[in-house]
Amino acid sequence: MKYKNNISTAVSLTAALVIGSCTSSFAATDWKIAGGDSEGSSQHAFGLKFVEQLEAKTNGEYTGTLFMNSQLGSEQDTVVEAGLGTLDFSILAINNVTPFSPTVGIFTLPYVIQSLDEAELLTQGEVGAELVENTVKDAGVRIVGWAYTGFRVLTNSKQPIETLEDLQQVIVRVPKNEIMIDTYKAWGGNPTPMAWSETFTALQQGVVDGQDNPYVTVDAMKFDTVQKYVTNIRYIFSIEPLIMSESVYQAQTPEVQQAIVEAGKAATKHSAEFLTANEARIKQQLIEKGMVITDPANGEKEWIEKATTAVWPKHYDSIGGKDKLNRVLRLLGRDEV
Ligand code: MLT
């Protein structure tokens, strides 16, 4: 009996080892995906869809784990890490890619993109395709999808801000992005460049009074707990690409590369749907939580004039020449400059 038991134990163990070894030879490759924002954000919704689609398109052989809330470093650090090949993917705001590949600055030039439709047209058309090539060359990262988060609105803890004179009363955190810093300077404001990962604490401790980011991000990051006033400016429509380490991408078979690109496209589509379905609800929720929303004075006229006249010409060179801006304006049906 004892002998029989030993045999059956041995058989089960062998079976387990065989199954174990089969499982490990088919084990999923689990890529690390960094995200600067918290759960509930556009980045998170995009990332979940990307992973779902990646698994579906590779029969579960490839997956990804999301590390949200800057767990893997500040957004700008993740560009460097992905460029070096020590990080697989990152989802981050386009403004944090610009220092490493300046031509993507076209998407942070103030008052260029004026709607979700325009953001989709540019990112998914010839302009987006050119920027994908540029980021590969400049930074060693490949954009494989685009999340859309809505207009970056201005929040602060001190007072309602309607005019550029009001803006001078507050210190505003801005990303380390020359175009955005110059925009605040053109407005006569007090920009303090700071990494995204440090922003909540800086707001909480009163190191800065305000910041700008879309409603969806303000909500996901719980900024309503440290900010009261919102100014409904529309200077930048926030675009958040999924970047992939080019060296990791090039190490894949053509089939896996195709699966990555297709998963990125599906997540891009989902992101637009997520924004459309949730932005108004989230804005209302922020009002219910006590945030006070005001519109900029005179239909934002002075804000627009100051930013476009001072900042556009200053950054023609960094975005690749005035022609690049004119191509975008033509595509959007606007007058060239
Ligand atoms: C920033 O303000 O640095 C980014 O827009 C934050 C984000 O990724 O949402």
Q: Each residue of 159-218: pLDDT tens digit? A: 999 999 999 999 999 999 999 999 999 999 999 999 999 999 999 999 999 999 999 999
Answer yes or no: is the C-beta of 36 below 6 A from any ligand 1 atom: yes
Q: Give the domain extent around 8.
A: 2-148+239-277
State the closest ligand 1 atom to the C-alpha of 96, by its place in the atom list counted from 1: 3
Let me know whether 66 and 109 are in one domain.
Answer: yes
Whether 336 is covered by a domain: the verdict is no
pLDDT at 157 over 70: yes
Q: What is the mean pLDDT of the chain?
A: 93
Whether 53 is covered by a domain: the verdict is yes
Let me know whether 327 and 187 are in one domain.
Answer: yes
Let me know whether 173 and 97 are in one domain.
Answer: no
pLDDT at 7 over 80: no
- The number of helix segments (H) and strand segments (E) in the chain equals 13, 11
The pLDDT of residue 189 is 96
DSSP three-state, residue 117: helix
Which of 38, 67, 92, 104 to mutate to test ligand 1, by most ligand atoms within 8 A of the CB atom?
92
Let me know whether 165 and 197 are in one domain.
Answer: yes
197-221 as b/e: b if 16+ CB within 10 A: bebbebbeeeebbbbbbbbbbbbbb
Distance 24 CA to ligand 1 centre (A): 38
Let me know whether 246 and 188 are in one domain.
Answer: no
Answer yes or no: is the C-beta of 92 below 6 A from any ligand 1 atom: yes
Whether 94 is covered by a domain: the verdict is yes
pLDDT tens for each residue of 242-255: 999 999 999 999 99
C-alpha 302/C-alpha 206 separation (Å) is 28
Answer yes or no: is the C-beta of 208 below 6 A from any ligand 1 atom: no
pLDDT at 13 over 50: no
Total domain count, the chain: 2
Nearest to 265 by CA among 70, 56, 85: 56
Which of 96, 194, 197, 227 to mutate to test ligand 1, by most ligand atoms within 8 A of the CB atom?
96
Let me know whether 172 and 138 are in one domain.
Answer: no
Residue whose entry in the numeric block shows the structure tokens 């707990």: 225
pLDDT at 15 over 60: no
pLDDT tens for each residue of 49-68: 999 999 999 999 999 999 99
Answer yes or no: is the C-beta of 212 below 6 A from any ligand 1 atom: no
DSSP 27: P
Whether 249 is covered by a domain: the verdict is yes
pLDDT tens for each residue of 304-334: 999 999 999 999 999 999 999 999 999 999 9
Q: Global pTM?
A: 0.91
Let me know whether 78 and 55 are in one domain.
Answer: yes
The contacts of residue 54 (CB under 8 Å, 6+ apart) are: 62, 63, 64, 259, 260, 263
Let me know whether 163 and 109 are in one domain.
Answer: no
Q: Are 256 and 58 in contact (CB under 8 A)?
A: yes
The pLDDT of residue 27 is 65
Whether 51 is covered by a domain: the verdict is yes
Let me know whether 143 and 203 are in one domain.
Answer: no
- Confidence category of residue 26, pLDDT binned at 50, 70, 90: low
DSSP three-state, residue 108: coil
Whether 137 is covered by a domain: the verdict is yes
Whether 337 is covered by a domain: the verdict is no
State the closest ligand 1 atom to the C-alpha of 238, by its place in the atom list counted from 1: 5
Let me know whether 43 and 183 are in one domain.
Answer: no
The enclosing domain of 19 has a CATH number of: 3.40.190.170
Distance 243 CA to ligand 1 centre (A): 15
Let me know whether 116 and 37 are in one domain.
Answer: yes
Alpha helices in the chain (DSSP H): 2-25, 42-57, 75-84, 116-123, 126-139, 164-167, 178-186, 199-204, 215-220, 246-250, 254-288, 301-314, 322-331
State the closest ligand 1 atom to the C-alpha of 212, by its place in the atom list counted from 1: 2
The mean pLDDT value for 122-150 works out to: 98
Let me know whether 195 and 309 are in one domain.
Answer: yes
Nearest-Å Rg of the Cα atoms of the chain is 23
